[in-house]
Each structure stands twice: as structure tokens, then as C-alpha cells.
Amino acid sequence: MSMRLHNLKPRPGAKHRTKRLGQGESSGHGKTSGRGGKGQSARSGSSIRIGFEGGQMPLARRIPKRGFNNKRFTTVYAPVNLAELNEFEEGSVVDSAALQAIGLVNGTVLNVKVLGDGELTKKLHVKAAAFSASAKEAIEKLGGTAEVIA
């Protein structure tokens, strides 16, 4: 018997019955419906934000903040492999605008880094923010140019 969409079902034990609240005392979830007795969390429409400790200074603010995080200052590159550059015509100029036009780079990433994965078969003039050593070597071996732009 082959597997078809109508034959699929979840693994045994993966599906649980939903907890039905307020179904009488003997259900175990009657009267207060698992909310305890009185207080802020027992009220309808009440929700306390994550990390709130009842007015006490929260743990995330109590512990000391030390060290340096470089994330804000990192340079983000959109990776493009050599094999993907074969879509361009022989001798054409490849820059970030050209890569965006054919859909190899999308979003708001401004910097493109050309990586050496795959094999390049055409002579191209590539302009990018960065090149891996193997990518630069492969481009220049075919007579193309690898120009680093700021």
C-alpha cells in the first residue's frame, strides 16, 4: 500500500484531548477552572507580561550587563556562489543591481559577497563588496575581473 495524503495520520500519543474547563467539580477542572482562587491571574482578560515579577525588579534588569556585543556593527553580506553567475551573458558586468534583477539577491542587503562554490564557465566583470580567495581566483583565471566596491 502506497502512502497518500488521505492515509496520513499523527503518531500515536501526538494528539491530546483539549482540556475542557468548567465542566463540574469531578472533572478536576471545575469551579475556578485551573486559575486558582482570586488574584490578578484569576480575572478574565488578565495577562501579565513575560518577565513581570509583581513590581519587584525583574531578573533581566537585576543582573549586571558586562562585555561587548558587536552585532550592531557587523557587515551583512548576501552570499552568491560562482555557479549562479553562469546565468549571465559572456563578458557582461555583474553588480548588485544585476543580481537583484535576476533574483539571486533580494531584500535590503546592500553588500554582496561572491563565494567559490561551483564552477564558473564564462568570462565576467564582477563588482561586489567582497570575494572569497577561491572565487576571485576562478573569475580571473577565465580572464574576467573581480572588482571590490565599497
Which pTM was predicted?
0.57
Q: What sign results for the dihedral spanned by CA atoms 90, 93, 99, 102?
A: negative
Q: What is the DSSP letter of 145?
A: E
Tell whether the model's pLDDT for residue 135 goes beyond 90.
yes
Closest CA to 129 of 101, 99, 103: 99
Question: How confident is the model over 78-90, as pLDDT tens digits?
Answer: 999 999 999 999 9
Question: How confident is the model over 60-106, as pLDDT tens digits?
Answer: 999 998 998 888 899 999 999 999 999 999 999 999 999 999 999 98
Extents of the domains making up the chain: 77-148
Query: Average of pLDDT values for 111-136?
Result: 94
Q: Which of 3.30.1370.100, 3.40.50.2000, 3.100.10.10, 3.90.1150.10 is the CATH number of 77-148?
A: 3.100.10.10
Q: What is the dihedral of CA 75, 81, 82, 83, to 10 degrees?
A: -170
Q: What is the dihedral of CA 49, 52, 55, 56, to 10 degrees?
A: 180
Q: What DSSP letter does each residue of 24-87 carry, written as one string?
A: -GGGSS-TTTTS-SSSGGGSTT----TT--TTSPPHHHHS---S---GGGPPPEEEEEGGGGGG
Taking the chain, what is the end-to-end CA distance rounded to the nearest angstrom? Answer: 60
